[in-house]
């Protein structure tokens, strides 16, 4: 089984070699071994939409994600976090990845890391426009919040007013897609084995990124730029031996992002904007809104947050990968009971006011023991008309029950 | 007799400059109000704890419900003193395991609201959060955020109530009223010993001025030959019957932190 792409594998070998060459000092070093595994059951209540698609009415799956940290001294650290999923019905969802495999050095006013890592950019909740360093591990969740490990060399230079981060990103990770006969998949097969790239270097193209994050009192501002292979593929219609298939095509793009957050008393005002070139005409996209929290509701310990965000995306779906957040309004409630079990729930819905398509999202969790957590997740497609980007999977509403064991 | 004691004590506090003022104007000294004396005591306690620089300590938090069922939380706290502002504090959680690696950064301010950030390891996301939830429970415990925040002198107005013997030592009993309207308390009554100005007990009164919680301090140890820290705290909620024990293990002072160890960027790599 080919686990990792070739440039990624080379990177890992290099890192392993470096570890072997510099044996950790047994006197001062310290291992920390932890991680988590999970068992989940997905329930798809509605019948399949396409001939040949598996019903998967009740679909079990399990994951394991150990985390090994070796703290050499206060300023040098090695982290490894492999991930594996076994899925009863979806061969492509059964996959492994190195979420993290990196060496970190902490300097006095800078830090640097080399290896496979994960970086998050952004402030909003409904959609993460600016976040671009890591590829989405789409088979994990359609939320787009699960990410594949990305090979990188990262340097962060820090001043009291803010942080400048620079990234070299060798080795591209193609997006993962569910199996052609599985749920959360359209009618056409996706040729994930043969992705195409605009760059002649293909997945060996080295991408670059930088971000400047500044704090001005209650206002946090970040400006970022990414130059390289688009994390979002376009899916091109191809004919393979008389069969229509979709081939992922990764353009070269330049994307500049802006993040804003104003932290006032009970309200966080948030906005993200991007402008991207390389996929048809340069386009702009914005998400902006607020999160207002009512603390200690009705003299209880519970907090209730109200979230509202507006999404706009000006991309032309003929030249750019379609966005499901092009003319949408998101509203949600976040509840935290602040009890011993840290019970929380999020119920949100977004509504495309042009196509009238709706999407409802439910997430709830509660700790059962010091090591065990119960999670419930629901994704529901509401009134999705033909032509909406989510129309292909509108029968694939699901409820998910998950037990997470932390070790 | 009591007022005589008071006067003598204030003179002692204000020495040597105060002594001159006292000699020149005995009327001024006798006019010392309960508010002045309360502030004086609080200022002295604050002065005695100034200059510690930084420290690191492990915390064990035991949450107990009214049926005495226990839940344990483990975390590590690193604090750096600021010369002319509130302290900077970093808390990294170890247990329960699902919050392992979660980190909380707080820049407290003498005036205005504090700055707070939370690092969520699953998403590698640093979130700036609102600090106005002062009265909210910390980690589901009976301690609220404001109970654990650095106790800046400016955050209260003070009033001396009485001298009282508490648990075998001579104490001042003072009342302090939070200046922040977002505080969950109407007032607090604090017992400090006269010898070292250590806090031994705090009664917390809710917004309706009803007794809500009592915090008791014990197992005091002195560090750097100057700074006293209680290694055991017990918070009892009288209204719910729940309680929380906080144990401090392995205080280390003068650990050589820098300002850069307390930035939102560094929070990502806090361990």
Cα dist. A227→A50, A107, A149, A230, A254 in Å?
A: 38, 27, 18, 9, 5
User: How far apart are alpha carbons B179 and B158 in whole angstroms?
Assistant: 10
Comparing A236 with B182, the larger pLDDT belongs to: A236
Partner residue facing A34 (CB), from B100, B123, B137: B100
Which pLDDT belongs to residue A5? Answer: 59
pLDDT of A18 above 90:
no
A55 at interface of B, judged by CB pairs closer than 8 A: no
Q: Which residues of A touch B184 (CB under 8 A)?
A: 296
Do the Cβ atoms of A325 and A354 come closer than 8 Å?
Answer: no
Q: What pLDDT sits at residue A161?
A: 81
- The residue among A226, A5, A206 whose CA lies nearest residue A98 is A5
**Is the pLDDT at A190 greater than 60, yes or no?**
yes
Q: How far apart are CA A238 and CA A230, in angstroms?
A: 20
Q: CA of A220, closest CA in chain B: separation in Å?
A: 9
ipTM of this complex prediction, to 2 decimal places: 0.89
What is the rounded distance in angstroms from the CA atom of residue A215 to the CA atom of residue A160? 9
Do B98 and A373 count as a contact with CB atoms less than 8 A apart? yes
Query: Would you state the structure tokens that stand for residue A53, as one six-digit string?
Result: 């698609």
Tell me what pLDDT residue B249 has.
97
Q: What is residue B7's predicted lDDT score, i.e. its pLDDT?
A: 42
* CA geometry: angle B14, B18, B24, nearest 5 deg: 150
Q: What is the DSSP string of A160-203?
A: TTEEEEEEEE-S--PPP---TTSSS--SSEE-TTS-EESSTTGG
Give the phi and the psi of residue B46 in degrees, each rounded to 5. -65, -45
- Mean predicted confidence (pLDDT) in A112-120: 97
Task: Using a pLDDT cut of 70, give the percent of chain B over it.
Answer: 89
Q: Which residues of A touch B128 (CB under 8 A)?
A: 220, 261, 263, 268
Q: How close, in Å, is residue A38 to chain B by CA atoms?
A: 12
Interface check A407 vs B, CB under 8 A? yes
pLDDT in tens, A291-317: 999 998 988 889 999 999 999 999 999
Mean pLDDT confidence for A354-372? 94
Mean pLDDT to the nearest integer, B81-97: 93
**Mean pLDDT estimate for chain A:** 92
Half-sphere exposure of A148 (CA within 13 A, CB side): 23
- pTM reported for the whole predicted model: 0.88
Q: What is the pLDDT of residues B52-81, one digit of tens each?
A: 999 999 999 999 998 888 999 999 999 999
Q: Is the pLDDT of residue A6 over 80?
A: no
What pLDDT is recorded for position B110? 85
DSSP state of A299: G
Q: Give percent above pLDDT 70 in chain A.
A: 93
Q: Provide DSSP, B148-193.
A: HS---GGGEEEEEEEEEEETTEEEEEEEEEES-TT-SEEEEEEEEE
Chain A CA closest to residue B119: A120
Name the more confident of B27 and A386.
Answer: A386
The winner for highest mean pLDDT among A7-11, B2-6, B231-235 is: B231-235
Write out pLDDT tens, residues A194-223: 999 999 999 999 999 999 999 998 999 999
A267 in B contact zone (CB under 8 Å)? yes
């Amino acid at each position: 089984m080919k686990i990792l792409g070739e440039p990624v594998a080379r990177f890992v070998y290099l890192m392993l070699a470096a570890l072997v060459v510099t044996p950790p000092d047994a006197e001062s070093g310290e291992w920390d071994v932890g991680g988590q595994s999970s068992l989940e059951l997905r329930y798809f209540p509605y019948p399949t939409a396409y001939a040949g698609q598996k019903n998967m009415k009740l679909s079990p799956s399990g994951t394991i994600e150990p985390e090994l940290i070796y703290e050499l001294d206060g300023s040098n650290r090695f982290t490894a976090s492999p991930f594996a999923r076994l899925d009863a019905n979806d061969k492509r969802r059964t996959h492994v990845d190195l979420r993290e495999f990196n060496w970190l050095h902490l300097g006095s006013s800078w830090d640097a890391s080399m290896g496979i890592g994960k970086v998050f950019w952004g402030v909003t909740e409904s959609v993460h426009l600016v976040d671009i360093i890591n590829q989405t591990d789409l088979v994990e969740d359609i939320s787009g919040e699960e990410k594949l490990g990305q090979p990188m060399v990262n340097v962060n230079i820090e001043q009291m007013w803010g942080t400048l981060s620079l990234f070299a990103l060798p080795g591209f990770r193609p997006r993962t897609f569910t199996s052609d006969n599985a749920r959360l998949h359209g009618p056409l097969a996706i040729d994930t084995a043969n992705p195409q790239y605009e760059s002649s270097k293909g997945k060996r193209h080295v991408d670059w990124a930088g971000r400047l994050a500044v704090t001005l009192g209650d206002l946090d501002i970040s400006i970022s730029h990414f130059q390289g292979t688009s994390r979002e593929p376009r899916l091109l219609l191809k004919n393979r031996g008389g069969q229509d298939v979709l081939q992922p095509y990764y353009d070269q793009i330049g994307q500049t992002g802006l993040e804003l957050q104003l932290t006032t008393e009970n309200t966080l005002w948030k906005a993200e904007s991007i402008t991207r070139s390389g996929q048809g005409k340069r386009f702009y996209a914005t998400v902006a809104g607020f999160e207002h929290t009512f603390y200690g509701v009705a003299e209880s310990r519970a907090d209730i947050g109200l979230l509202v965000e507006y999404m706009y995306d000006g991309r032309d779906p003929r030249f750019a990968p379609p966005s499901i957040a092009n003319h949408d309004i998101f509203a949600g409630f976040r509840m935290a009971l602040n009890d011993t079990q840290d019970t929380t729930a999020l119920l949100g819905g977004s509504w495309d006011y042009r196509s009238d398509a709706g999407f409802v999202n439910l997430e709830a969790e509660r700790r059962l023991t010091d090591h065990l957590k119960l999670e419930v997740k629901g994704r529901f497609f509401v009134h999705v008309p033909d032509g909406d980007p989510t129309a292909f999977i509108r029968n694939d509403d699901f409820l998910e029950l998950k037990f997470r064991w932390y070790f | 007799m009591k007022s005589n004691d008071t006067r003598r004590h204030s003179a002692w506090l204000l020495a040597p400059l105060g002594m001159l003022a006292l000699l020149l104007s005995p009327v001024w000294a006798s006019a010392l109000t309960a508010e002045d004396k309360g502030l004086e005591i609080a200022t002295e306690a604050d002065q005695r704890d100034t200059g510690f620089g930084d420290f690191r300590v492990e915390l064990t938090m035991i949450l107990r419900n009214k049926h005495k069922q226990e839940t344990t939380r483990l975390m590590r706290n690193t604090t750096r003193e600021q010369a002319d502002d509130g302290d900077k504090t970093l808390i990294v959680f170890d247990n329960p395991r699902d919050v392992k690696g979660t980190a909380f950064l707080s820049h407290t301010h003498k005036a205005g609201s504090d700055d707070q950030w939370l690092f969520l390891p699953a998403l590698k996301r640093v979130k700036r959060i609102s600090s106005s939830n002062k009265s909210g429970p910390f980690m589901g415990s009976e301690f609220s955020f404001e109970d654990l925040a650095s106790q800046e002198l400016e955050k209260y107005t003070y009033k001396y109530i009485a001298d009282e013997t508490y648990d075998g030592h001579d104490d001042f009993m003072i009342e302090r009223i939070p200046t922040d309207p977002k505080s969950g308390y109407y007032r607090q009554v604090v017992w400090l010993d006269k010898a070292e100005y250590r806090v031994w007990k705090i009664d917390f009164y809710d917004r309706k001025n009803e007794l809500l919680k009592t915090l008791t301090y014990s197992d005091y140890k002195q560090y750097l030959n100057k700074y006293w820290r209680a290694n055991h705290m017990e918070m009892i909620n009288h209204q719910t019957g729940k309680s929380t024990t906080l144990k401090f293990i392995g205080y280390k002072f003068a650990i050589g932190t820098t300002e850069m160890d307390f930035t939102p960027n560094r929070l990502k790599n806090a361990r």
